[in-house]
Amino acid sequence: MKKFSIAVVVACLMALTAGTVFADMIPGDPDFVDTKYFNQWIGTGAWFYYTHAITGPYTPIPDAYTVDPDSVKLEITYYDGGGRESIWQYAYGEGEWHFLGSTGSMSGYEDFEFQIDADWLNSSGGSLTVALRANSAYGSDSGTYLKRSVLSGDVSVVPVPGAVLLGVLGLGAAGMKLRRRNAA
């Protein structure tokens, strides 16, 4: 009975530790980064679309990995020499467009950072489509330049249910065999 109890304890410990998180190679660095450089003019009233995809050691995301909640950031850099534009920013996730925010009037290079819902990436296989629309009260010939967009975040291990189940069954079978051996 004692050996069977030990097998059950070991199986429980395996199940509890199966969801171990990868440690970053460099603490504080994200596990994935997708950087896109542009020199894209976005004129007033025009829409511009582009897609980020997770890159790095997890491309494409295997089923055993998932993006950590609260770790995904989108940073967009613009250049506007006139300071007259406002850009509406949207991201596509879980089957719908989500409004991220408006830049307001800009002057020179400006960065805007957004927290992205990790479920938007997990539901789309690791990609995020972004839509931008320029708005101005100064006429249709104005606009701004999109210079850079960076998507970054962290990835965790998700235990594969089949592996955990096989481990528990294997330990249970070993415990039963030991129990039969002692009974004989």
Token digits of residue 148? 């850079």
pLDDT the model gives residue 4 = 64
Strand pairing category for 96-102 and 65-67: unpaired
pLDDT the model gives residue 27 = 43
Token digits of residue 90? 């949207």
| pLDDT tens track, the chain, 184 positions | 566 666 666 665 565 555 444 333 344 566 778 899 999 988 888 899 999 987 544 444 555 556 666 678 899 999 887 766 678 899 988 888 999 988 877 778 889 999 888 888 777 777 889 999 888 766 556 778 899 999 988 776 555 555 666 677 777 777 777 777 776 6
pLDDT the model gives residue 171 = 75
Of 59, 37, 64, 52, the C-alpha closest to 121 is 52
Strand pairing category for 47-53 and 127-135: antiparallel
Token digits of residue 69? 């909640």
pLDDT the model gives residue 118 = 81
pLDDT the model gives residue 107 = 78
pLDDT the model gives residue 154 = 78
pLDDT the model gives residue 131 = 93
pLDDT the model gives residue 22 = 39
Give residues with Cβ within 8 angstroms of 52, minimum separation 6: 34, 36, 74, 127, 128, 129, 130, 149, 151
CATH class of 24-158: mainly beta
pTM over the 0.95 mark = no
**Residue 4 carries which side chain, given as an amino acid letter?**
F
pLDDT the model gives residue 20 = 42
- Report the Cα–Cα distance between both ends of the chain, in Å, rounded: 14
